[in-house]
Every structure is written in C-alpha cells, then in structure tokens.
Amino acid sequence: MSRGSLGPLVQKGEPHECSNSRLQSQCFAGIFVNSANLPDDMQLDVSLVSPFVETPFESENRLCGMIHLSQQAIEKMLSRNYSRWIVMYSGGKDSTTALVLCTEVLRKYDILPEALYCDTEIEIPTLQQFALSFLQSVSAQQLAKVTVLKPAPEDSFWVQVIGKGYPPPHQGFRWCTHRLKVKPVEKYLNMLSPSERERTLVVTGVRFGESDVRDARLKLSCSRGGECGQGVWYEQSQRLKIGYFSPIVVWRECDVWDFLNFVAPSWGYPTRGLLSVYKGRETRFGCWTCSVVSQDRTMQKIVQEETRWKPLLEFRNWLVDFARTPENRVRKPNGQLGRLTLSARETILQRLREVERKIQQPILSDIGYSLVTQLWEDPWYSDSYDGEDNALHRSNE
C-alpha cells in the first residue's frame, strides 16, 4: 500500500474506539463501503466539506471525508506560496494528527515541514517519552525537521517559583504559558527575516469542541478577520507577520482517534500506542507541576502503573497547599497575598531536592540553582514590599 493512500482502516468487526460500535468498513480512494451507523452527532456535514472534496462520498463516510478535507485545506495553503511550514508539536493527539497530515501532503512537493517542540523542562515524563520517540521516528524517516526549544533559564518554572517567589499558576495568575511556551516560540520566529516570515505558516492542531475557552478564542478570531469555514481556520498575525493555520479545526475527537489508531499506522507512523499513553480521554499533555487544574487526574493515572513518578504527584499536591498558606506569603501594602517568603522558597527547594533523590533524576539545573540563589539576594524579591515604587513594580508579580 502506498504512503498516503487510504487503505483498510480496521478489520471487519474490530471495536471502534470512539463510538463503542463496530466498524464494518474499508476505505478505498476516499470512499467508505458498508460503513457503521454512527450517531447523528458524529456524521460529517456534507455542505461544509463538498466544495473541497473532489471524490464524492456520502455523509456517513466521515473519517475519509475529514482526511480529504484536511488535505485540500493544506493544498490551499500551498497555493498561497507558503514554503516554510512549522508544525507546533506537543506530543498530544491533535498536534500529532496535524503533523502527520502535513508531512504526507508536503512530501509530494518536496517540502520538509519543521516539527517545533517546546520542552518546558517540567513535562509529564511518560508523555514526553512518547513525544520524543515520535519525533525521533519522523526525523529518522526524513519526514520532518525536528527543533526542540526550551525557555530561557531566567524564565524557567523553578526560577520563577523558588527564585522570585511566584505562587504556582492558577486561573487568576496563569503566568506559566507565556514564559515557558509562548516566549521561546516567539523568540524563535523573530529570528526569521521579514521575507522568511512572509513565506512561513505555523500549523497547529486547534479544534472546535476542545473546550469552551478554545471555542471562544476561535470564534473571536473568526470575527476579527480570521478565515473560518470549509474546514479551515487561518489567521495572519499582524505582529509577527506570520500565518497560523489548523487543518483539523472541524475534526471531532473520534475522528482524531480513528485516524491515529488506523490510518496513520498504515502510513508508517507509530501512533497506535498513543491511546494507551493517554490512559483515558481526560488525560492532558503538559506539565507535571500543573496547578491550574484542581486535581491532576493525568498524573494520578500514571502513578498507578508507574510508581516511580509518585513523588512528583505528591510534591505537586504539597506545593499547591503550601503556597496557599498565608504564613508562607508576603503581604502587599494593600493587604493581599504577594510572593512566597524567602523561608518558604528555601523549604520548597529542600523538598524538591528530596524528590530528585527519590526519582534519581535532576529537576533543577545547575544554572537554575545559580539564578535562584542570586534572586534571593536581590531586594526586589525580598520579603518586603516597602516603597511605593516597589509596590508598583511588583503589583503584577
């Protein structure tokens, strides 16, 4: 079977991972035969897809239709003279799907996409292992160029928490995403020349239906000049002068899992094991320190099978409670809780060193430790908010 062709998706009678029904189908040249009777809310909106798809298909041929829709969307972006394609890859199901789709279309045009992976240095270990293994595979097959970014040492998580005394991120102060992910990527993109940026397209795996917050952002983008419709989400960044694009914006979760379990493996991609890595639908790819979620169900599931990572979960839970304790925080002039006290930061460092010994793996780098100790000597990050200028300077920290 040739790469990129839609061969047999699943053996007859094999369980359908998403709908709990059984597929009785094969996909030939984009056409399902004897397709399963999927629920109405999983059917493809033919009016949305038909302008992009050359091969006729019926509404029940959802997955094949979605694949062709995405392929046509990628072709459309190629027609706009984008010659440098950067796929934002996290290791999760959506970014993996976007990367596979792009590599399969772009290889026909001798365009090597770039998979951009941002290592926050606090990634969930087992999920990061899959992500790096997948990147190694596509790199070895020369399907994509792989670039790994990291936050600057002064922006790292532990320097912010232990050095500056930032409380762990929460919904009201979600400082982590910008420092750990956005800044490294924007710094990388800003290194491109103006002419290179005009030819650069950043591909994401963003989809409608992921969350209410994500849907709201997509709708806002569409209302402000973003291109939405026909299965495409496209936006031109006025600040960076770079295009942003998602080829799977109208895919549903079921489409993504079917693609990764049945189609991508038939094309030679090691994606079939991703479902077991997720250990359930609620699982998120991200940081083991995440305090934005109230309970980290992802880490809870992981430590049930891999107990060596239990100290990470225990430390995360302890840190959240410890940072919320008023005695461990400096009071601002207005009476609100401010940064962590120096004593609290020293305690966090001691506990973190204990975790390192338990898992036999370094967490805080030597550079990070050096920055932490320097910040402890900096009066800006002391236990005092004395002075009107200091209070103003620290009001956002």
Question: CA–CA separation, 384 vs 167, rounded Å?
Answer: 16
What local confidence, expressed as pLDDT, does residue 236 receive? 64
Question: What residue type is 235 in one-letter code?
Answer: E
Closest CA to 397 of 236, 240, 200, 179: 179
Closest CA to 128 of 299, 316, 320, 348: 299
What local confidence, expressed as pLDDT, does residue 234 receive? 53
Q: Is the pLDDT of residue 83 over 80?
A: yes
What local confidence, expressed as pLDDT, does residue 210 receive? 56
Q: What is the mean pLDDT of residues 68-75?
A: 90
185-200 burial, b at 16+ Cβ within 10 Å, e below that, comes to beeebeebeeeebebb
Q: Is the pLDDT of residue 221 over 60?
A: no
Question: What residue type is 77 in one-letter code?
Answer: M
Q: Is the pLDDT of residue 2 over 90?
A: no
| pTM: predicted TM-score of the whole model, two decimal places | 0.79
**Which residues of the chain does CATH 3.40.50.620 include?**
39-278
C-alpha distances out from residue 209 to 1, 303, 364, Å:
33, 29, 36
- Which position has the higher pLDDT, 180 or 273? 180
- Which position has the higher pLDDT, 105 or 228? 105
Q: Is the pLDDT of residue 397 over 90?
A: no
What local confidence, expressed as pLDDT, does residue 237 receive? 62
Least confidently predicted of 38-47, 142-151, 314-323: 38-47
Choosing among 3.40.50.1820, 3.30.390.10, 3.50.50.60, 3.40.50.620, the CATH entry for 39-278 is 3.40.50.620
